[in-house]
A and B are shown apart, each in its own frame.
Chain A
Amino acid sequence: MFGPVVRALEDEELIRRVAEGDDQALSELYNRYSRPVYATGIRLLGDAHLAEELVQDAFMSVWRAAGSFDPGRASFTTWLYRITRNRAVDLNRRRQVRPFSAGEEPLRNVSGGPEPEGGVDGWDVARALSLIPDEHREVLTLAYFEGLSQREISRRIGVPLGTIKSRTTAALKRLHRSLVDPAAEESRHD
């Protein structure tokens, strides 16, 4: 993981830094959003190898096209979801040029993404995580995505175990609030 400076930045600031060639900013965006991109690949393409290819393609597109991102037109999440969707269509088109092999299916028509028809999905959770305070995001990331125990997190970041336990609870509460009312959470950043 990179230092607290990059971790604490909002998505839109990170993508601005990516446009300047900051690979640490790209790394942080990957940490935040590779999971929903991959999950979207699995849902749309139904194939783990193609979903990996999709993750590579999507983040390389972010790297190359960061300069074209306009925060006035869409959130970073919406922009990345469109890239992901378009690259999935490309991958599916290329796949259809070849004869079908076992396990391959046409592109699936699914709902989801940051403008969902209903329900909460990985994009919403990833976006909500990006909006909560860094110290909250840190304990949740270490616990859920890196599989560390509360004691291991305490040692890793040098904070007493009791504080980690109460911080984890507070982080879940804050994330829930961010999911229920993301606009209110975003306004805290303005």
Chain B
Amino acid sequence: MTEDRFEKLLGPYLLGELSVEEERELEGHLEECSRCRGELARARQTHDLLQELAAGGPPPELKDRVMARARGQSPARARGGWRLWVTAAALLVIAVLGGGLLWTITKDSSEGIPLAAKAPTSEGGGELSGEVEEGNLQIELVVWGLPELRKDEYYELWYAREDGGRISCGTFRAEPEGQTTVNLTAPASAVSYPEIEVTREPDDGDPDSSGEKILVGDLQSL
């Protein structure tokens, strides 16, 4: 084997990918060749850095969640779309209170609000979009990867304020696999509540929130 040929085997050698025979020949050559030993030392530094980077990566399924969230909203239009939506919805409240006018915002004018998983479960994600129709918010909620519920539990969507005030937009259960889409209705005044929450609720007859937030979204962050 020529020196050039030995040098080309340094990468596979570090990866443990040489045959026993190739490895024996290369190690014999390295004992005699200081230049190849220098090349090996440099390659090993890089190899170790790559191994360290590879070992510290996020779980592979996280990418699917990030990409699903991204595909649910356009980067260029998301910010403006929701501002328009909120402004229009606020105008609706004024209009309804003042004269009973009806406003309808088409879906084309809005983009979804991402709902992020909350620690400690940090499972799942969601997207919320909607339109104002006849004095109510017609909401479409898409969720995925939520923790599996017991039979006596359900999920509930809320609009929430910092002072603890909440408006329930309805309850639902989610499929353990894939996405679940639910359509819910809330009073138009819910738009004055800046935070969106999905909580896990026990079926105990108590209408108040359990406080166990699974997903959260923030109109103000958009």
Q: Which residues of A contact B (CB under 8 A)?
A: 18-21, 23, 26-27, 30, 34-39, 42, 47, 49-53, 55-57, 59-60, 63-67, 95, 101, 120, 122, 125-126, 140, 143-145, 149-150, 165-166, 168-173, 175-176, 179
Which of B9, B63, B78 contacts A169, CB < 8 Å?
B9
Main secondary structure of the interface of A (DSSP, over half): helix
Q: Which residues of B contact A (CB under 8 A)?
A: 7-12, 14-15, 17, 39, 42-43, 45-47, 49-54, 56-59, 62-63, 65-67, 69-71, 73-76, 78-79, 114, 116-117, 119-122, 125, 222
In angstroms, Cα B12 to Cα A55, docked, is 32
Residue of B nearest to A30 (CB): B63
User: Most chain-A Cβ atoms within 10 A of its Cβ — which of B17, B43, B53, B62?
Assistant: B53
Residue of A nearest to B122 (CB): A49
B53 surroundings in chain A (CB, below 8 A)? 35-36, 39, 122, 125-126, 144-145
Contact (A172, B76) CB under 8 Å given A35-B57, A39-B56: no
A51 surroundings in chain B (CB, below 8 A)? 58
Residue of A nearest to B39 (CB): A173
B67-A27 in contact (CB<8A): yes
A18 surroundings in chain B (CB, below 8 A)? 75
How many A-B Cβ pairs are below 8 Å?
141
A165 surroundings in chain B (CB, below 8 A)? 8-9, 11-12, 17
A150-B62 in contact (CB<8A): no
In angstroms, Cα B126 to Cα A176, docked, is 41
B119-A47 in contact (CB<8A): yes
Residue of A nearest to B119 (CB): A49
B12-A125 in contact (CB<8A): no
Nearest first, the 6 closest Cβ-Cβ pairs linking A and B are A168-B11, A169-B11, A166-B8, A49-B122, A38-B58, A39-B56
User: Most chain-B Cβ atoms within 10 A of its Cβ — which of A65, A95, A150?
Assistant: A150
Main secondary structure of the interface of B (DSSP, over half): helix
Given contacts A38-B57, A55-B66, A176-B42, 9 further A-B contacts (CB under 8 A): A30-B66, A34-B58, A37-B58, A55-B58, A60-B114, A64-B78, A101-B120, A125-B53, A169-B12
B10-A169 in contact (CB<8A): yes
Contact (A42, B56) CB under 8 Å given A173-B42, A179-B46: yes
Contact (A52, B62) CB under 8 Å given A101-B120, A166-B8, A172-B10: yes
A60-B66 in contact (CB<8A): yes
